[in-house]
Structure 1
Amino acid sequence: MFLELPYVGITINLDYVIYGVLSYGVGLVTVMSVNKLRRGAKRDYHADDTVVEAVVMEYSRRLKDYDRVIAEMRARLDIVEAKSQSLTQPHATVTPSQPAPTHAQPVSEPVAVTQHPQVTDEAQNGTTDYILKLLMERPRTSRDVQSAIGRTREHTARLMKKLHDAGLVSRDLNSKPFRYAITEAGQARLKERPAQAPGLQRAA
């Protein structure tokens, strides 16, 4: 199919013109479709990144909660073990009575009872200050503190838990066994109470 322009002297093939217009239209539609698909893919990609980041943060938070619960359970287990050991140790020594002779009144030997000295508030505060001074030098484990203050494992575990709950010391959960370090509140307490408790002048 041809179109003649006699004034110009040009003959145009309309088939080529139609094919060119159709090709241009198809190409334009294709480019627009590809751009639309790319924008949709980018939105989906960013949405997936947001979901993955939220899931990772949630799992990290749960892992921290599990570590905290495990640390509390370990501290309670130490206290229970110390109590069980103290219960298995004898606290009183009883001497059996001698057999009584015939027609004689039986004579019983005296019972020797081991008494534990009462710990006063002043001595307790002195022990606390001494532990804080030890932790000022470097972080220490519960066993280090026990050997330094000369107390039982049960007493030391209860005392360290009390100091941790009071915010005077911090517990490093990444080390096994746990290491305790003095906090700013503990340092402030030492400044208010500079005197060291008597009877605790020991090397760490």
Structure 2
Amino acid sequence: MLVEIPEPEVVLGVILAFVVGLGGLYLYYKIRPFVKTKNEMFDASQSERLEYYERQLIDMKIRLDALEIQGIEQKSEDPNLELKQFLEKLTKNEVEEKPTEQVITPEIKQEKPISVPNILNIEHVNPTNYVLQLITNKAMTSRDIQITLKRSREHTSRLMKKLFEGGYVERNTESKPYTYSITEKGLAKVEEVQTSPSIA
């Protein structure tokens, strides 16, 4: 393998350029602190303004220290004075309030009985008849019926579907949840159950 060696003039030129660059950087960093730029130059007015603010801060610090010293001297006379005054006021208020206490008698109000829908005694053996009796007075939702029957939601839904398909109840689909009201056929069944309760 042959390696081509550059001419000595080229090698010297590269080395000389490198040395000149290093020398330039060295001189720049040595001269830089002595050269002032516009940002570093201060006007006389700026230095006067800084001195003015410094004097103001020193005066404020002296005043603050003086106030703190005065406050400490005043408090050193009786540090518990405020606490004593507060306790005296509190005891005076208690003494004044004791004679004015009156025995308050609780007023007894008679509660009005809660109106319960008038449901005839139907044997709770047949839930169909019981539901029909429930909805004779007013329309009810399946949730209301579920709570009254104390059965599951699925059981109540199946029962109401069976009654709807049988024509015993009418489903109002305009409101959500659906409300169920009794039909003429359902009323006839309720009357039949009331006249002969033994027939289920």
TM-score by length of 2: 0.35
Higher relative contact order structure (alpha carbons within 8 Å, sequence separation ≥ 6): 1
Q: Which has the higher strand share?
A: 1
Q: Which has the larger radius of gyration?
A: 2
